[in-house]
Amino acid sequence: MVKNKENSEDLDFWATNSEEGGWNISSTDEGSQKMNDEESEQQIKIQTGSDVVDDYFIEEETSEDERMIVNMGPQHPSTHGVLRLQVELEGEAVRRVKPIIGYLHTGMEKTGEELTYLQGPTNTTRMDYLSPFFNELVFSLTTEKLLDIEVPARAETIRILMTELNRVSSHLVALATGGMDIGALSMMIFGFRERELVLNFFEKTTGLRMNHNYIRPGGVAADLPDNWQKDVKEILKIIPEKLKDYDEMLLDNPIWQGRLQNVGIITPEECLAYGITGPSLRASGQGWDLRKMQPYSGIEKFDFDVPVLQESDVFARWRIKVLEILESLKIVEQAMDNMPKGPYKIQDKKVTPPPRKRLDESMEALIHHFKIYTEGFKVPEGDAYVAVESPRGELGCYIVSDGSSKPFRMHVRGPSFCNLQALPIVMADSPIADAVAAIASLDPVIGDVDR
Amino acid sequence: MNEVQHIEVNEYHDYIKSLLEEGYEMMMDLTAVDWFRKKEPRFEVVINLLSLSKNLRKTIKVQVPDENLTIPSITDIYPGANFYEREVFDMFGIVFENHPELTRILMPDDWIGHPLRKDYGSGRIPVQFKNAPSVD
């Protein structure tokens, strides 16, 4: 061993530490385990994986016989639910895609016509199950627009606080499942771990982790719990730190960049033609955000930026979600610091049920309680469309009222439903391996697609 | 900010085309309302357009004639209308002329009836639960 010490750099690790010591590796049957010296630095980088060359290209000349149709889904982990894609393949190239939806259709718009306005949020909250607060908010805002009432300042700020925290949790799932689809499995565990923090706060406030039915026409269901600032401060402290970890892991990672950059490009013109909104539109260079352009629920009072990226590829759509989480946390911090005092429900006896304590004391309160919970409050005739910026894009609600206590027609414009139309143009003429990345970047929630 | 415009079926397609040229770049929503026994004609298609450059919305309402329930498709103007028109066809049975592929989208292909019509009862199909006692 002592004899060969000066040459130990040339030797493989296990060879130098073996009992036989000084055993020359080049004399084994398998030949030298060292890299060939003649190879250029570029080639060595490619071999070690620190540089990725995208050498895949699609040959244009293939006959019709080589095309085959493959069904992807409905039961497939990368389709984020029960989305079925009929993919026409030519070798490994995707030529045509047809999304087939409806596997999760439960007739929620029909159900919405049979529920009173107070029961409505229990239905809409189940549509986009990753951002339930937005669904409740848009239904409540539409009802309030028809009723022509304004909720108290505290209710508005609580709504902003909860929806922006919801945007954080929803984007964290998008980052997590997006990472999982591409193969960054640790990203999946990290994303769900951080989301747990936010969900714990939701559970403390609303009683449920999902499908809260917390935002209702006329305000919110309950006030924030005692010491809620402590939980929000913890979220504000931990999530930015963890986002830095994600960036360290992925931002300059050559494999991540090689998989995502210049993949699944949606041009701004395609975005406009297909009605694609939300992060996908902002990653294509259009600075359109309803929170800035058509503010709702008093969000114009908050100071935040709208991140816009020009690349329009899957990488930009991933990156913009990380940036949006940071902006949402800014809004949450301002909402926490400037939370107004006062009632969290509108003080209108026709809309808000009386508190439980009053029922024992007042006959009038008992009558109102009974009327609101059995018959519901009546909404004047008319129709209204209100849109909010959900984590996936424009979430709109169109309600037609005939003057009764139930909506005559309730329609929800789900952003995932519309964004799904972009799949054929994103996936066409790309390798099938990139198809999964493209689906993940559009972040469809099937509950929102099928309703 | 939101202007409502009623338009006749025969002018509808050209009007939407002129709105695109006016700067309404995006079609946000297309749906229908069934005014069963409340209004004549029965069906009304509601289209919601958005202009990013002018920050404006516009709602267009079209009455669909009762005789043939047909209305021109606007997929050639806004390709994003494709899924919405299929959904309205599926749910209300309104036919969109010149639509590239007018098939059911949410319901199974062999489904009979159009669920969001007012004369379609929601409890029409009995639901079978496992181990539930049979009801006569």
Check CB contact under 8 Å for B26 and A272.
yes
Residues on chain A touching B3 (C-beta within 8 angstroms): none
Q: Is residue A179 very low, low, confident or very high in pLDDT (cuts 50, 70, 90)?
A: confident
Q: Is residue B136 very low, low, confident or very high in pLDDT (cuts 50, 70, 90)?
A: low
Q: How much is the pLDDT for A157? A: 92
Does B89 reach chain A within 8 Å, measured CB to CB? no
User: Which of B48, B46, B58 minimizes the C-alpha distance to B22?
Assistant: B58
Check CB contact under 8 Å for B59 and A385.
yes
Q: Which residues pair with A72 in a beta bridge?
A: A85
pLDDT tops 80 at residue B133: no
Average pLDDT, whole number, for chain B? 86
Question: Does pTM surpass 0.90?
Answer: no
CB atoms near residue B1 (< 10 Å): 7
Pairing state between β A93-100 and A84-90 = antiparallel
In this structure, which topology does domain B2-97 adopt according to CATH?
A: Beta Polymerase; domain 2 (3.30.460)
DSSP A49: T
Average pLDDT, whole number, for chain A? 84
Q: What is the pLDDT of residues A340-376, one digit of tens each?
A: 888 888 888 788 888 888 888 888 888 888 888 888 8
Tell me what the mean pLDDT of segment A94-110 comes to.
Answer: 87
Q: What is the pLDDT of residues A227-239, one digit of tens each?
A: 899 999 999 999 9
CB atoms near residue A40 (< 10 Å): 8
Q: In what order do the strands lie in the sheet with A430-431?
A: A67-72, A84-90, A93-100, A430-431
Q: Is residue A64 very low, low, confident or very high in pLDDT (cuts 50, 70, 90)?
A: low
Check CB contact under 8 Å for A396 and B82.
no
Element at A245 (helix H, strand E)? helix A228-250
Q: How much is the pLDDT for A37? A: 63
pLDDT tops 50 at residue A2: no
Q: How far apart are CA A150 and CA A346, in angstroms?
A: 8
**Gyration radius of chain A's alpha carbons:** 27
Check CB contact under 8 Å for A411 and B29.
yes
By percentage, how much of chain A surpasses pLDDT 70? 87
pLDDT tops 60 at residue A55: no
pLDDT tops 90 at residue A19: no
Write out the two tokens for A271.
Answer: 């975005």
pLDDT tops 80 at residue B123: no
How far does B135 lie from chain A, in Å, by closest CA? 24
User: Which of A396, A365, A413, A351 minimizes the C-alpha distance to A117?
Assistant: A351
Q: Is B56 helix (H, G, I), strand (E, B) or coil?
A: strand
Q: How far apart are CA A157 and CA A197, in angstroms?
A: 21
Does B76 reach chain A within 8 Å, measured CB to CB? no
Residues on chain B touching A272 (C-beta within 8 angstroms): 25-26, 52
Pairing state between β B70-72 and B95-97 = parallel
Phi, psi of A71, deg, nearest 5: -90, 125
CB atoms near residue B129 (< 10 Å): 6
Q: How much is the pLDDT for A31? A: 52
By percentage, how much of chain A surpasses pLDDT 90? 25
Q: Are B92 and B43 in contact (CB under 8 A)?
A: yes
How far does A212 lie from chain B, in Å, by closest CA? 25
Q: Are B65 and B46 in contact (CB under 8 A)?
A: no
Q: What is the pLDDT of residues A267-322, one digit of tens each?
A: 888 888 888 998 999 998 888 888 888 888 888 889 999 999 988 888 999 899 99
Write out the two tokens for A286.
Answer: 């259009």
User: Which of A177, A314, A315, A183 minimizes the C-alpha distance to A251?
Assistant: A315
pLDDT tops 90 at residue A138: yes
- Enumerate the domain spans of chain B: 2-97
Q: Are A377 and A405 in contact (CB under 8 A)?
A: yes
Is A74 exposed, middle or buried (CB count within 10 Å of its CB: 0-12, 13-18, 19+)?
Answer: middle
pLDDT tops 70 at residue A80: yes
Domains annotated for chain A, with CATH where assigned, are: 64-100 (no CATH), 108-450 (1.10.645.10)
Q: What is the pLDDT of residues A182-193, one digit of tens each?
A: 888 888 899 999
- Dmax (CA) for chain A in angstroms is 102
Residues on chain A touching B57 (C-beta within 8 angstroms): 385
Q: How far apart are CA A354 and CA A27, in angstroms?
A: 89
**A99 or A1: whose pLDDT is higher?**
A99
Q: How much is the pLDDT for B9? A: 85
Q: Are A411 and A397 in contact (CB under 8 A)?
A: yes
Q: How much is the pLDDT for A1? A: 45
pLDDT tops 80 at residue A446: yes
pLDDT tops 90 at residue A44: no
By percentage, how much of chain B surpasses pLDDT 70? 95
How far does A35 lie from chain B, in Å, by closest CA? 54
Q: What is the pLDDT of residues A307-347, one digit of tens each?
A: 999 888 889 998 999 999 999 999 999 999 988 888 888 88
Q: What is the pLDDT of residues B34-69, one digit of tens each?
A: 988 888 888 999 999 999 888 889 999 999 888 888
Q: Is residue B125 very low, low, confident or very high in pLDDT (cuts 50, 70, 90)?
A: confident
Looking at mean pLDDT, say which of A71-85, A131-145, A346-360 comes out highest. A131-145
SS3 of chain A: helix, strand, coil, percent, to 5 = 50, 10, 40
pLDDT tops 70 at residue A169: yes
Kindly report the length of chain A. 451
Distance of CA A383 to the CA centre of its chain: 30
How far does A238 lie from chain B, in Å, by closest CA? 36
Q: What is the pLDDT of residues B98-119, one digit of tens each?
A: 888 888 888 888 888 888 888 8
User: Which of B107, B90, B93 minimizes the C-alpha distance to B43?
Assistant: B93
* Residues 6+ positions from A342 with CB-CB distance below 8 Å: A152, A153, A154
Q: How far apart are CA A182 and CA A322, in angstroms?
A: 17
- What letter represents residue A102's amino acid? G
Looking up tokens 């899924």 gives B83
Q: Which residues pair with A401 in a beta bridge?
A: A382
Q: How much is the pLDDT for A70? A: 86
* Residues 6+ positions from A404 with CB-CB distance below 8 Å: A378, A379
Q: Are B88 and B30 in contact (CB under 8 A)?
A: yes
pLDDT tops 90 at residue A398: yes
